């Protein structure tokens, strides 16, 4: 009997030991450079990494870094047409040659490093959902850049060229790993791209809470899906200056409603942190600790519906230091800690 087998056979081995929460940040993700004057600038991921590092004393042993890989072109075409992806890749190459940003859609500049950042972040999302489905990870957080939830199948906009959360859902479905996916979008903006991709699809439930009226203009409560997809889109528009307390109440109510309508095999979170007070773009008043509670609420649904399977992906969040604190709070919730860490 080797050491590992002895370990498994030992009556002292803890039987309820949970696998770790995965933390994924593809090394290419920070290379996407929309320019330092742009809100989605290259300082965001280092600020997140610093906050997570500061929280290590409490996260240690519960959160593990997981190596990501590039998504293949075939994987990316599960959501986006090949011609669209080729245009994005060519724009990144052109930006590299020019040494300047190139726009691929409304407010969506790419740089020479963006193509690797995009396929690295989509790949990280794929590795994360695979790990959670296989049970090597309890759940996971993906620090993705550029963000994705405004990108529809054929249109980049709002800083988002490729929709990572949609790709993660389609990856699970096309590999047969899962059939029914719920996407919970707590970014301050409506996830119009994700909604558009799954509007007709009853196998993917899309729930978005967002400031309204606000960019991108969609996301009224009347948008509930179309044809077969009617009832698997749920929009909760909220006014500017919504407090953490009011947001958490609306969030709990929305999750209860979603849970009554849909039984997922896995829940994805479009985890933007631009609903935080002090965010230079958003207009809501959440604190980092509120995201601990939001993550716990999603985990409650996941525990009841799908053995706790949750994967969160970074979307917006434009106050780097506070975004870092909120990511650490989200990770602490995913890791099962009692409260958010002091960072
Ligand atoms: Zn946003």
Q: Which CATH superfamily is domain 21-334 in?
A: Histone deacetylase domain (3.40.800.20)
53 alpha carbon – ligand 1 mean position (Å) = 24
Q: Which residues of 146-184 are buried (b: 16+ CB within 10 A; e: fewer)?
A: bbbbbbbeebbbbbbbbbbbbbbbbbbbeeeebebbbbb
Neighbouring residues of the ion ligand 1, judged by CB less than 5 Å:
187, 189, 272, 274, 316
Q: What is the DSSP letter of 314?
A: E
pTM for this structure? 0.95
Residue 201 pLDDT > 90, yes or no? yes
207 alpha carbon – ligand 1 mean position (Å) = 15
Q: Which of 335, 334, 317 is nearest to 326 (CA)?
A: 317
Percent of the chain residues topping a pLDDT of 90: 94
Q: Which of 226, 232, 244, 234 is nearest to 290 (CA)?
A: 244
Residue 36 binned pLDDT confidence (cut-offs 50, 70, 90):
confident
Residue 15 pLDDT > 80, yes or no? no
Residue 156 binned pLDDT confidence (cut-offs 50, 70, 90):
very high
Percent of the chain residues topping a pLDDT of 70: 95
> How high is the pLDDT of residue 1?
43
If residue 134 lies in a helix (H) or strand (E), which one and from where to where? Answer: helix 114-134
| Tens-place pLDDT, residues 238-272 | 999 999 999 999 999 999 999 999 999 999 999 99
Mean of pLDDT over the chain: 95
Any idea which residues carry the catalytic annotation?
150
- Domain residue limits, the chain: 21-334
| Tens-place pLDDT, residues 46-63 | 999 999 999 999 999 999
Residue 14 pLDDT > 70, yes or no? no
330 alpha carbon – ligand 1 mean position (Å) = 17
Distances (CA, A) of 186 to 22, 152, 208, 251: 20, 18, 6, 9
Q: What is the DSSP letter of 340?
A: -
> How high is the pLDDT of residue 16?
61
275 alpha carbon – ligand 1 mean position (Å) = 8
189 alpha carbon – ligand 1 mean position (Å) = 4
Q: Would you call 2 helix, strand, or coil by DSSP?
A: coil
């Amino acid at each position: 009997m080797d050491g590992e087998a002895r370990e498994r056979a030992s009556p002292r081995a803890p039987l309820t030991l949970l696998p770790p929460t995965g933390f994924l940040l593809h090394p290419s993700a920070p290379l996407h450079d929309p320019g330092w004057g742009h809100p989605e600038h290259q300082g965001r991921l280092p600020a997140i990494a610093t906050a997570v590092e500061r929280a290590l004393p409490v996260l240690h042993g519960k959160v593990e870094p997981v190596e990501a890989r590039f998504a293949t072109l075939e994987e990316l075409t599960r959501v986006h047409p090949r011609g669209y992806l080729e245009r994005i890749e060519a724009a990144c190459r052109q930006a590299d040659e020019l040494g300047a940003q190139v726009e691929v859609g409304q407010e969506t500049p790419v740089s020479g490093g963006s193509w690797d950042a995009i396929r690295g972040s989509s790949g990280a999302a794929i590795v994360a959902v695979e790990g959670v489905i296989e049970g090597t990870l309890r759940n996971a957080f993906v620090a993705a850049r550029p963000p994705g939830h405004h990108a529809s199948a054929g249109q980049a906009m709002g800083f988002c060229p490729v929709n990572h959360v949609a790709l993660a859902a389609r990856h699970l479905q096309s590999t047969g790993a899962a059939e029914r996916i719920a996407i919970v979008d707590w970014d301050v903006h409506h996830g119009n791209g994700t909604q558009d991709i799954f509007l007709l699809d009853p196998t993917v439930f899309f729930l978005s809470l967002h400031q309204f009226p606000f960019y991108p203009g969609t996301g009224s409560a009347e948008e509930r899906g179309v044809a077969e997809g009617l009832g698997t889109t749920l929009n909760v528009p909220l006014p500017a200056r919504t407090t953490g307390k009011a947001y958490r109440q609306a969030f709990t109510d929305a999750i209860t409603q979603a849970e009554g309508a849909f039984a997922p095999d896995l829940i994805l979170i479009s985890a933007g942190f631009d609903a935080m007070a002090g965010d230079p773009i958003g207009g809501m008043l959440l604190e980092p600790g509120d995201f601990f509670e939001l993550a716990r609420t999603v985990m409650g649904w996941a525990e009841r519906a799908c053995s706790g399977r949750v994967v969160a992906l970074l979307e917006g969040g434009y106050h780097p230091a506070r975004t870092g604190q909120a990511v650490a709070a989200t990770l602490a919730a995913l890791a099962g800690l009692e409260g958010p860490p002091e960072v």
